[in-house]
Amino acid sequence: MTDYGRFSTEKVLEASKNIDKMSALEIAELINAQDKTVAYAVEKALPEVARGIDALAGVLKGGGRIFYCGAGTSGRLGVLDASECPPTYGVAPETVQGVLAGGREAAFESIEDAEDDEFSIVRQLKDAGFCAKDACVGISASGSAKCVQGALKYARGLGAATVAVSNNADSPLIELADISIIAVVGPEVISGSTRMKAGTSQKMILNMLSTGAMVRYGRTLGNLMAYMVPSNAKLAERALRMICAETGADRETAYAALKKNGDVIADAIRELKGAK
C-alpha cells in the first residue's frame, strides 16, 4: 500500500492551521505569500525543463505527437495546454493532446476513482494509436497516480519519449520517465489540495514545455505568433498588426498578402519581405 503521508504535498502547512479563523484579507495574503514560493521551486527544475523542451521538439520534428497524461487537476491542466496549441501555433489538433483518467467527461466532473486504474489512460493512448515516435508527459503532484504510472510504463515499453512532471522529491514517477521535472512546492494552504501550489507549478512547467517545443519546432518568427490562426476579430487585427510591423506594409497590402497565403501570417510576412 502506498504511504501517501510521506509525500510533501500531503503534509500540513503550519502557517494555515488557523485559516478558518482568518479574515478574507488574511486568507488572500496567506495564499499569495505561498504562491510567491512556486516560481522558485520551478526555477530549481529548469535544467530538466530544458531537457524536456528539446525532447518534445525532437518528437515534433520527427512527425510524432505529444500526449499530456494525468488525473484531476493535473490532467485538466494538460488538456488546457494541449487545446491552446492549435490556435496559438497553427498545428493540427492531434499534435498535442490531453488525456484524462476517466475520459473527456472528467474534464468537467470529478471522477476520482479513475486515478487508481492503471489502464485508464493506457486504453485511451491505444485508441489514439500512440507509438514509439510519440511522447508521453505524465503529470501527477505526488506521483502516486496509478493511471499516470501506467501511461509512462506503456509509453516507455514502446520506446517512446517519456517526461514526468511532479511535486515530490521522491516521486514514484522519477524511475518511470526519461526526464523528470520535479518542482517541490511543499504543503498546500488547504492540506492536500494540490490544485493550488502544485497545480500552479504544473501550469508554469507545461507553459514552458509547449512554448519551448513550439519555438524550437519553428512555429514562431522571433517572439511573434506567426502561425496563429486568425479566427476572430481580435486575432485578425493582431495578424494585420504583425504583418504591418514586420514588413512596413499598409493594412490593405497586409490583408491582401494574408488572404493570398491562406491566413498564414508567417508566409505573408515572408512574401512581403521578399518583394522589397
Degrees to nearest 5, angle at CA 57 with 162 and 130: 45
Quick one: residue 97, left, alpha or beta (phi over 0 = left, psi -120 to 50 = alpha)? beta
Q: What is the pLDDT of residues 32-83, one digit of tens each?
A: 999 999 999 999 999 999 999 999 999 999 999 999 999 999 999 999 999 9
Average pLDDT of the segment spanning 206-217: 98
Q: Kindly list the catalytic residues.
A: 84, 115
DSSP3 helix / strand / coil % (the chain, rounded to 5)? 55, 10, 35
Map grid coordinates 491505444 to a residue.
Answer: 126
Report the length, in residues, of the chain: 276
Q: What is the pTM of this model?
A: 0.93
Domains 6-217 and 233-274 share a fold: no
What residues are paired with 162 via a beta bridge? Answer: 136
Q: Which CATH code, of 3.40.50.10490, 2.60.40.1250, 3.30.70.1400, 3.30.310.50, is assigned to 6-217?
A: 3.40.50.10490
Percent of the chain with pLDDT over 90: 88
Q: From residue 259, how far is each of 71, 90, 188, 202, 270 by CA, in Å?
A: 41, 16, 50, 38, 14
Domains of the chain, by residue range, sit at 6-217, 233-274
Domain 233-274 sits in CATH 1.10.8 = yes
Q: Cα separation of 67 and 98, whole Å?
A: 6
Cell numbers describing residue 44: 530549481
